[in-house]
Structure 1
Amino acid sequence: MIVLMDDEAAELRRIIDEGLLYPVFQPIVDFRVRAILGYEALIRGPQDSPLQFPDALFGTAKACNLALELEHACREASLRAFAAQRLPGRLFLNVTPGCLLDPLMMNGHTRALLAELGIAPNRIVIELTENQQITDLPGIQEALQNYRGRGFQIAIDDLGEGFANLRMWSEVRPEFVKIDKHFVHGIADDRIKYHFVRAMQDLAEICNASLVAEGIERREDFCCIRDMGIACGQGYFIARPEPVPLRQLPPAALSALANQQLSLTPSGLVLGKMPTARTLLREIEPVPIDACNSLVIARFEADPKLDVLPVVDGRQPIGLINRHSMIDRFARPFQKELFGRKSCELFMEHAPLVVDQHATIQQLAMMLSLAPKHYLFDGFIVTDEGGYLGVGSSHDLMATITEMQISAARYANPLTQLPGNVPINEHIDRMLASDGEFVAAYVDIDNFKPYNDTYGYRRGDDVIQLLGRLTGEAADARCDFVGHIGGDDFFVIFQSADWEMRCWQLVRSFAEAMDGMLSAEERARGGYMAENRRGEFVFQQLPTLSIGVVKIAPGECESHREVAAAASAAKKQAKKRAKNPAADSLAGSVFVERRRPGGADAPRSMLRVLN
């Protein structure tokens, strides 16, 4: 056994000394902008060696007390390979807490290596791994603060695998948090995993951190993670780790991204066609990677309105040069003589914000709000399946968002602040144009007028606002659209598959909320005494909900008018049943129109009543 250990130690020493470690890189996709954010560096030993794979490599290093030395060698090999291939975006480097505090990490060697390789610190993400007990959290915080001050970003690996990284999250406040693959694999079919990740997402929003879902191996999980609004993902479905990794998203990932459900704004205020990055596109002729700095300066001097110049390698964008930064540097003595003939790569931003042309305005705004400040000045590069199209400016982005907000506020219902008739109609037309299947639900309060007349408009407004809130809670904010037609009428466009359950949830929630607003006497009677329209003092039933629902298949309707008419007819059928004298103490009704126009063998409509 001792002989075997000595052999492994000698082999490991040979691998480190002879530089036989080779890194592989796995792409990390940014769902928000449909582009590769960067790469995680992983390490391998020599092929066909007993130490080829990470478990054996690092297990032997730990047993032989060479763990820190191996980790430093891995870091240097990864940085050199990343620079040699001129890979775009960020580099995620795995670092153990013990290595973070090692003198070799703190003695300036890493800083000198980055300068030698021409890699800016803001492109490096230190990914803390939880494979050893953390004994000096204050020391780690101090070290991380030092790295942050130099431009590095921080990530925590495998959230959910242990409790220590939850504490690390609260103490360190990383820019990225990686979700353990256990919670990602099968999430599309597992509601428990789904809700765990939703809880992580809520924490991430509070902490201004971007989540990265690891271990995505299935298309279904990829789509689920994306539709949940998780920022980033990585896994075999996107790409396996390779020595020469993909620089563009593979067809399978692009196809899954293209099938995304119709997006909604966080507030639901969608007016007309949702603006995308292509809306902000400015076509600027890029410069090739081998262009000299003198050529770049000449381009800026020839066009005073040119604020940035994109740098490409073929069709692939790899950098962005800021006008003011470039001219300021060359204004210093001897800079033109020293650097004029050298490649423009020397002064470009190596990790610009690169977005797909289909990225929405909201996604862009979120990205810029979380990005370093200089991104606001540089703007972003717009691509089509990884190929350069042009650039967009933050100024134009802010102007577009302001215009959207003003327009949305103009059409919002003043009582609930939900979209009114105009945005409802425009969203329906947008759904029809997308040729996707959806469900239209017309929500109305029964027995509302006598309640409003008896208790006053203030209490009536409380009921309407209550229904607006409950309708928003019953809908899925990621894909369902909630609008307020006016008065006590609401309209929901469902894309969620469990729309029927959500309708019944709304009926029950409204009945329970109304019950809580009643006095003990009203609750015991199930109603109240009030005048009717003829001035007679009679018993009045409590307000309940009627929901008329119609399923709209692709090509079934041509405009929002047809959808509104069909939903209105379904709502009338629901209200007829609610007014049936034989149906006492009803909490509400849902009528689902399942017939298809012109379908002789179509199933009949369905009416259900909640008692």
Structure 2
Amino acid sequence: MPLRDAAEDIGRVIREGLLHPVFQPILDFRAQAYLGFEALIRGPASSPLHRPDQLFAAARSAGLAGALEQACREASLRAFARLGLPGRLFLNVTPGCLLDDRLMNGATCHLLNDLGIAANRVVIELTENQQITDLPGMHEGLLHFRRRGFQIAIDDLGEGFANLRMWSEVRPEFVKIDKHFIHGIADDRMKYHFVRAMQDLAEICHASIVAEGIERCKDFVFARDLGIACAQGFFVARPATSPDRHLSPIVVEALAQKQLALSPAGSRMATAMNLLRPVTPAPSHATNESVMARFEADGELDVLPVVRGDVPVGLINRHTLFERFARPFQRELFGRANCTQIMDHAPLVVDQQATAQELAMMLALAPKHHLFDGFIITGEGKYLGVGSSHDLMAMITEMQISAARYANPLTQLPGNVPINEHIDRMLAADKSFVVAYLDVDNFKPYNDTYGYRRGDDVIQLLGRLICQTVNQGIDFVGHIGGDDFFVAFQSADWEARCWNIVDRFAKAMQPMAAANGLGGDGYMAENRKGELVFQAWPTLSVGAVRVHPGQCDSHREVAAAVAVAKKEAKKAARRVPGEAPSGCVFVERRRSGQADDSWSAAGLLTPCRKPAAAGPPSEGYRRDASSNPRVPPEERSGGTTRERTKT
């Protein structure tokens, strides 16, 4: 658009009031209501200036950016007052406009008075779309507005280094995290740690974090459980001329979820989607000359996918093309020819859900040129983007470093550090949950008799059984070390799942016994004194503790409590008379009125008896021994809890 036309069009938009504010709600997680609304501007409908990026680009080219900003603020304030929207109004302001006479001369305050909007309901949201050259002047402007009751927010934290400096200089009341770090945070360990660091800084600075760009329910729940104050994005609500003041049913349902979202710092599997780089493909009818122009225009472009419709059919390598066209007369002869003549007709194509390990295996088995070309990533057979072998190697290296630091090398399950972090997250969130300590009985004599390799097989088997039995969306599985495992349950049927693990482990040991050429209830082996004695096959003991809000202050208290429950479970498994050991689940239950520090007091730890018929607990399985028909009358004593051990 020529400069004269841009100035004329922007002037007309401002004079005739052709700006249309829309408002996007910002949700306060703690209040479970809207904190306020961000004002966004749209230009004249059905015109090139409708989109705000084009509108402001035209205003800058015409030298009318300041006048347009002032008109946008006035239109937003009037629309906000006319609609009677509750809460705060977030107004976008570039740092350079803070000292603009049109903003500093009191006209905005007069307009607020006329509209009946208190200054403390307005949040000046500083956007980072221009370099800050006058830092003292910006401080002066911020002080001016803070004295009048306005609050300050900075936008798109993480988009660039400048807004990190702005945070330290401005000390805003609100900090908006760029949507890049929020989208996919529930699945991305790196984004999780970035945002958690930002949240820690916000707490130190007494600022409230706003997570922008939330589009998925799982990211919404994860942001809530991370302790972030506010949420904004299409999942919460889309911008609207007259926004709804009530939360949508889907948001209400997400807020009502009791379970705490699991941290992605655990053992989530990286996939090809983590490596995706969007590259606009070449259509199959494109000429070699147009492909060459693409490579010449973009020095970072190494490969160019070729698609027919939305299905990938080939891949063109930059160096192969340049080498071919460097020969005499090749460009003149073949420049107008179809690009399918020079493309690789059999590129490596992978689905977005392919794991990093699967990708590494595919590249190892594929022809060597795929190491340089990389691979095409698809979703349901449709082209999505490309991935490089270099990025794959970097991701696998990072995964290996992370595994060496935090995961158990035998099972690759989270080790002690992420276990402790997860317990502390649960405690900080004031959530009720159950912790279970799983330990293999009679493991040492089995390991000593048949060797560490078969002992490792037992440990890996148990790890797989636990992961298959829990709800991996809400239940956290960790490997403490050796034959000791940990589960933090949020599943309502946690007790049935514990018994399921015990039963499946007992059944899985039978073929292992057969593989050793033995059968029955055990085997003969030497004890520590060198005596040949009967040893029972390994079984599983589970000690479980219910943790309610306010009962524990740290993971250390929880670990101590569940360790005591595990010891009692092993004792209960040994003292079942006349029966072959087959496992035990032991639940710690506190009596009402018991002191908090008496975790191991007599009577508080109670074995959990399983009925003869396998299955989940029901009303027929009485927990109180005083009313349990399975317990003889002489064993029923008032106030003593005795529960089922496997029979």
- TM-score, normalising length: structure 2: 0.46
Query: Higher relative contact order at CA 8 Å, sep ≥6: structure 1 or structure 2?
Result: 1
